[in-house]
Amino acid sequence: GDSVTQMEGPVTLSEEAFLTINCTYTATGYPSLFWYVQYPGEGLQLLLKATKADDKGSNKGFEATYRKETTSFHLEKGSVQVSDSAVYFCARSAGNNRKLIWGLGTSLAVNP
């Protein structure tokens, strides 16, 4: 069935380090792909999205490219800040059944 797999955390980085969080998905149909962020004690917020192959989503210095050939949507940021400490979720749309398919989340801690 449809699934999303993202790298396990926790990920711990120093401020200004480069971030990559891997996400792969099953290739049923032509899903839209999303990255969400959850700050401590809050709900999930959309970070970025891509709706078709080769699209690049970007927001707040984060980027992810929809790679159909590798069924991937890896999240990257060139220089992380302490304020980026959060849990990041990768998700894909799941066709006409109206659900979203979620990865398990990756916790990121950025140290000053």
Enumerate binding residues for another protein (CB under 8 A). Answer: 31-32, 34, 42-46, 49, 51, 89, 91, 93-100, 102-105
CA–CA separation, 53 vs 51, rounded Å? 7
Least spacing, CB of residue 6 vs another protein, in Å: 9
CA 67 to each of CA 16, 22, 53, 84, 99: distance values in angstroms, whole numbers, following the listed order: 26, 12, 6, 24, 21
Least spacing, CB of residue 14 vs another protein, in Å: 25
Q: Given the complex with another protein, which of 11 and 102 has the nearer CB atom?
A: 102
Q: Given the complex with another protein, which of 24 and 93 has the nearer CB atom?
A: 93
Q: Given the complex with another protein, which of 19 and 101 has the nearer CB atom?
A: 101
CA–CA separation, 77 vs 64, rounded Å? 9
Q: Are 71 and 79 in contact (CB under 8 A)?
A: no
Residue labelled with tokens 């709900």: 43
Least spacing, CB of residue 38 vs another protein, in Å: 9
Q: Given the complex with another protein, which of 96 and 112 has the nearer CB atom?
A: 96
